[in-house]
């Protein structure tokens, strides 16, 4: 298969690109900055992984990458929308420019890139697939991460509709919903709202959330689990819509299924301490 993966500098994207190539696919690995390709190339040594300049919010780069793939191979079989950013902060702390940037990357970019790829994916028929990597935050919103959850809820809804829309053409559409995994979203790419400072009335609650995240970091999963799932889905003829996975995820889904919201709310209150 000819596969395009976004956000391949590290984390899920890097592992997806490497493992998909190891499975025999030709992988175009999108990087916001092509100068950061060394780690990817080292991990993919000897494999058919081709780094490409792809800032997902750049329309010209989207067009150039898709056109180049189709010109070289005559087709595109799979799109994995993995690139994304996070934003921590309470509702009142988040500014409009921060929220717009979040939605530009997490919602508008996958919408635009998918739209650009759809004619080629439809031509691929049953071989065609769109895999959108969202998050358990797209199923359950936590305090201090409401804006991030909003972007993932949006992508989940769009993807669910897309699955119905592409069914007549045989194109498969899947959501992969990781829980907490060891990726740069908790490290280098960790972003907090600029007004989430010590002067904020929310500061003590933000501190408690930071402590929860610090404890969580010791229990985060191996991101290769997500990559292996994505690679399996590339050739699954009848995938489900949603694939939640990760530490603590089964318990969260169980609670949502059997408890009223008030019960889940009390559990979250105990976890975060407010």
Tens of pLDDT, residue by residue over 4-17, are: 999 999 999 999 99
Q: How far is CA 98 from CA 7, 86, 120, 153, in A?
A: 20, 10, 33, 17
Region 37-51 average pLDDT: 97
* pLDDT computed for residue 52 by the predictor: 98
Whether residue 124 contacts residue 167, with contact meaning beta carbons closer than 8 Å, is answered with no
Q: How confident is the model at residue 219 (pLDDT cuts 50, 70, 90)?
A: confident
Closest CA to 1 of 129, 156, 95: 129
Q: How high is the pLDDT of residue 81?
A: 98
Whether the pLDDT of residue 40 is over 80: the answer is: yes
pLDDT at 182 over 90: no
What would the mean pLDDT of 61-73 be, rounded to a whole number? 98
d(CA 76, CA 66): 8
Which tens digit of pLDDT belongs to each residue from 19-35?
Answer: 999 999 999 999 999 99
Q: Percent of the chain at pLDDT above 70?
A: 98
pLDDT(185) > 90:
no
CA distance 140 to 152: 10
Task: State pLDDT tens for residues 250-270.
Answer: 999 999 899 999 999 999 999
Collect all residues with Cβ–Cβ distance below 8 Å to 165 and sequence separation of at least 6: none
Mean of pLDDT values over 137-145:
95
pLDDT category at 215 given cuts 50, 70, 90 is confident
pLDDT on residue 145: 95
What integer pLDDT is reported at residue 230 of this predicted model?
98
pLDDT of residue 187: 55
Q: What is the pTM of this model?
A: 0.94
Q: How much is the pLDDT for 176? A: 98
The residues carrying an active-site annotation are 148
Rounded to whole angstroms, how far apart are CA atoms 63 and 60? 5
Tell me the per-residue pLDDT of 147-164, one tens digit each, with 9 for 90 and over: 999 999 999 999 999 999
DSSP string, 149-193: HHHHHHHHHHHHHHHHHHGGGT-EEEEEEE-SBSSGGGTTT--B-
Who's near 190: CB < 8 A, 6+ residues apart? Answer: 86, 88, 184
Beta strands in 105-155 (DSSP E): 129-133
DSSP calls for 201-243: TTHHHHHHHHHHHHHHHTTPBPTHHHHHHHHHHHT-SS--SEE
Whether residue 188 has pLDDT greater than 60: no
CATH H-level, domain 2-272: superfamily: NAD(P)-binding Rossmann-like Domain (3.40.50.720)
- What is the average pLDDT across 154-176? 98
């Amino acid at each position: 298969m000819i596969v395009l993966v976004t956000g391949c500098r590290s984390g899920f994207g890097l592992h997806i690109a490497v493992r998909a190539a190891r499975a025999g696919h030709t992988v175009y690995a999108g990087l916001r900055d092509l100068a950061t390709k060394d780690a990817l190339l080292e991990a993919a040594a000897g494999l058919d992984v081709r780094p490409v300049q792809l800032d997902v919010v750049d329309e010209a780069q989207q067009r150039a990458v898709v056109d180049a793939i189709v010109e070289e191979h005559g087709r595109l079989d799979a799109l994995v929308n993995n690139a994304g950013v996070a934003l921590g902060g309470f509702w009142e702390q988040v500014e409009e420019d921060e929220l717009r940037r979040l939605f530009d990357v997490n919602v508008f970019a996958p919408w635009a890139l998918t739209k650009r790829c759809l004619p080629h994916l439809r031509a691929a028929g049953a071989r065609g697939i769109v895999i959108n990597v969202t998050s358990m935050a797209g199923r359950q919103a936590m305090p201090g991460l409401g804006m991030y959850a909003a972007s993932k809820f949006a992508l989940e809804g769009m993807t669910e509709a897309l699955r119905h829309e592409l069914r007549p053409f045989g194109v498969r559409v899947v959501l992969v919903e990781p829980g907490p995994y060891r990726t740069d979203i908790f490290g280098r790419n960790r972003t907090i709202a600029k007004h989430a400072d010590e002067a904020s009335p929310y500061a003590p609650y933000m501190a408690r959330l930071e402590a929860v995240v610090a404890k969580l970091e010791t229990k985060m999963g191996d991101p290769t689990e997500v990559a292996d799932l994505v690679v399996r889905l590339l050739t699954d003829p009848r995938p489900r819509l949603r694939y939640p996975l990760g530490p603590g995820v089964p318990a969260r889904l169980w609670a949502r299924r059997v408890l009223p919201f008030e019960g889940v709310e009390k559990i979250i209150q105990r976890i975060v301490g407010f």
